[in-house]
Structure 1
Amino acid sequence: MADGEAEQLLDGLRRQAHRLVADLAGPVRRVRLRSGDAALEVEWHDPVPAPRAGHPPDGEPVTRADSDPAPAADRPTVRSPVVGTFYRAPEPGAAPFVAVGDLVRPGQVIGVVEAMKLMNEVTAGQAGRVVEVLVEDGKPVEYDQPLIALDPVAGADA
């Protein structure tokens, strides 16, 4: 196999693993993919995968720790797409992607979450003004955890 082909195969496997981990519930310990004779193996840290944030098992109420205050219920948030470490800036010492008071557009990068050595851009799903940063730079985050609270602003998506 030529070096270019091998690099393309590895790149494709990385993308597939990234998508798979983003779609799985709970902290994944190991993912094993194989191309020849197709094989897939996923191992979680716990014997039973944890439910996705905001989706408790049937009959169990959703609770929040005191250190994880809930943003106002009527206020939209930008949420983490994966479990990992949240960074507000593209590199150490750089200006943050957004700050309180900034206007954001749909698709605008507001931060990155590092997961399994991959940097995943976090983008705003709607236009708005940043009213609160809910997670400190360099702190661990869970899947679907609110990162930034927005105040919807009409006409900000232009």
Structure 2
Amino acid sequence: MSADAGSEEVLDGLSRHARKLVAELAGPVRRVRLRSGDTVLEVEWHDPARPAPAPRAEVDPVPAPQVEAVPAADRPAVRAPVVGTFYRAPEPGAAPFVAVGDVVRPGQVVGIVEAMKLMNEVTAGQAGRVVEVLVEDGKPVEYDQPLIALEPLTGRDA
């Protein structure tokens, strides 16, 4: 199978997923972007009153650089449970859920990801000390994107 045929197959799969996703969503969709390797499918509507245009697909000639900060491989991280907008505090002007240096316990709320007007709590999956907040407040995040880097607790911290 040639590289072009493989890209076309991936693109067809992404197109099917995009159509299914848009059909299942309740309410208007402004933008959908799906990526598999170097293949990207992007659909965007500029005017909700106009009918949706056909999906526009492109194949990136060079993989896009990762813009997210990635914690060191040996450090655990709290990850985004859904695609949406990450917030560090429960409301504008409030103190953040956690700050660098704080100790978190499993199940502790460390942030919120807003997705389709729903606020999804982001909870720590394990105990640790916050060593870095990897995403700025109010920034978009992808599913499973690292949000907060943790340092495992030692015997004296626990």
Larger Rg: 2
Aligned alpha-carbon RMSD (Å): 2.9
Q: Which residue of 1 aligns with 2:32?
A: 45
What displacement does 1:150 show?
0.2
Preserved CA contact (<8 Å) 2:69 2:135: no
What TM-score results when the alignment is normalised by the length of structure 1? 0.61
Q: Which residue of 2 aligns with 1:22?
A: none
Preserved CA contact (<8 Å) 1:127 1:156: no
Q: Which residue of 2 aligns with 1:91?
A: 91
Tell me how far apart the structure 1 counterparts of residues 104 and 64 of structure 2 sit (CA, whole Å): 27
Distance 1:131 1:32, change over 3 A: closer
Preserved CA contact (<8 Å) 1:106 1:123: yes
One-letter code of the match for 1:74?
D
Tell me how far apart the structure 2 counterparts of residues 84 and 107 of structure 1 sit (CA, whole Å): 20
What displacement does 1:71 show?
1.1
Alpha-carbon displacement from aligned partner over 1:113-132 (angstroms, at most 9, x marks no partner) = 00000000000000000000
What is the aligned-residue identity percentage? Answer: 71
Tell me how far apart the structure 2 counterparts of residues 85 and 100 of structure 1 sit (CA, whole Å): 20
Q: Which runs of 5+ in 2 are unaligned?
A: 1-16, 39-62
Q: Which residue of 2 aligns with 1:105?
A: 105
Alpha-carbon displacement from aligned partner over 1:46-105 (angstroms, at most 9, x marks no partner) = 5xx545xxxx59xxxxx7735323210000000000000000000000000000000000
Distance 1:121 1:74, change over 3 A: same
Q: Which runs of 5+ in 1 are unaligned?
A: 1-24, 34-43, 58-62
Distance 1:156 1:140, change over 3 A: farther
What displacement does 1:45 show?
3.0
Q: Which residue of 2 aligns with 1:36?
A: none
Q: Give secondary structure in 1 for the equivalent of 2:67.
A: coil
What TM-score results when the alignment is normalised by the length of structure 2? 0.61
Q: 1:66-145 maps to which residues of 2 (within 5 A)?
A: 67-145=67-145
